[in-house]
Amino acid sequence: MVLFHNDYNEVCHPAVLKAVNEMAMNQYPGYGMDDLCKSAADRIKRLCENDQLHVHFLVGGTQTNLTVIAASLRPYQGVISADTGHINVHETGAIEATGHKVLSIASADGKLTAQQIRNAAGAQSEAMDAEHTVQPKMVYISNPTEIGTIYTREELEQLSAACKDCGLFLFLDGARLGYGLTAPGNDLTLADLARLCDVFYIGGTKVGAMFGEAVVISNDRIAEDFRYMIKQRGGMLAKGWLLGLQFETLLKDNLYFEISAHANRLALQLRDTLKKLQIPVLVDSPSNQIFPILADCVLEKLGKEFTFNMMERVDQTHCCVRFCTSWATKQEDMDALCAALVNYSK
């Protein structure tokens, strides 16, 4: 059985494991107050072309989302998200458990537009009884989105301008950031993200690390006392240097982006195959998640060799499913998947 149902099925990229092995018996102070974390943070600041940034390392995505959002909002404020946003549908109400409403906006492609933000904020500021409703204060986006689409620089510039105009923080969830920044059509850089967002993160868990997300904060209001927030929410790893080491390893020599590009290439092979077979997709994703709509009989056969995610039933005989590639996906496995699709679609 070959696992295509997500992009975190293996421990980590060999270079990361090698680095862990090499320093295994060194002694380090705890909680991220070590040289490896400092070194990785400095590298991220250089990549983001801004040495005033604040960089923190956390273990996982839900933890990162809830910590960043709780650090940013006053109790009566909420966070705007596409209805498909991870925080809205796939984190067991982690944001609400910190006391904040997720203000969801319908989105067909998983993205939010500047106009949607301006409308939502405008409705609030013009309301006679504004204090009876949740005050929007942050916008949460994912890049790539939960359905694989990506933002262009132009779109993010406009979104950022809308947020600034409306007094909103812009938070970009980069759990799969590598796959987004190496997707065909991408024109964003880490420096752009640092410039346009108040806070974003560089995902490690899904892009070659054992675990870990690197939070990059450009807004000092969010950065204030952020380590208190991490500790309180249970996200402060005792052996924090493991996080610094992993990001240092992934980000030096461009490894993070090379392995992401590998995953995208294999995903696009799948996309091309689907196109040739005239199999429809939920959305035209350029990154490592592909969402074909397949007949149940095809899915039944595929399910004997490959894993994938059930997204939703489309009609009585078809479902939308998700295939993920990753840094670890083998060419031969993708060839086998594509061959199977061709074969079962005859």
Site for a copy of itself contains 39 (CB under 8 A): no
Pair 206, 326: CB distance under 8 Å: yes
Among 43, 45, 54, 100, binds a copy of itself (CB under 8 A): 100
Pair 292, 278: CB distance under 8 Å: no
| CB of residue 187 to a copy of itself, shortest distance in Å | 29
Site for a copy of itself contains 131 (CB under 8 A): yes
Closer to a copy of itself by Cβ: residue 76 or 276:
76
Site for a copy of itself contains 63 (CB under 8 A): yes
Interacting residues of 191 by C-beta distance below 8 A, sequence separation 6+: 47, 48, 49, 50
Hey, which residues does 294 pair with through a beta bridge?
319
Whose tokens are 């056969």? That residue is 301
Closer to a copy of itself by Cβ: residue 50 or 124:
124
Both tokens assigned to 164: 């600034």
Q: What kind and span of H or E run contains 344?
A: helix 331-344
Among 128, 185, 315, 332, binds a copy of itself (CB under 8 A): 128
3-state secondary structure of 238: coil
3-state secondary structure of 37: helix
| CB of residue 170 to a copy of itself, shortest distance in Å | 20
Stretch that binds a copy of itself, among 74-82, 108-116, 272-280, 294-302 (CB under 8 A): 74-82
Alpha-carbon span 287 to 265, nearest angstrom: 8
Residues 268-307 that bind a copy of itself (CB under 8 A): 307
Query: Phi and psi (nearest 5°) for 294?
Result: -120, 155
Residues 157-216 that bind a copy of itself (CB under 8 A): 205-206, 210-211
Pair 169, 219: CB distance under 8 Å: yes
Among 52, 152, 228, 284, binds a copy of itself (CB under 8 A): 228
Site for a copy of itself contains 265 (CB under 8 A): no
Stretch that binds a copy of itself, among 47-55, 84-92, 109-117, 247-255 (CB under 8 A): 84-92
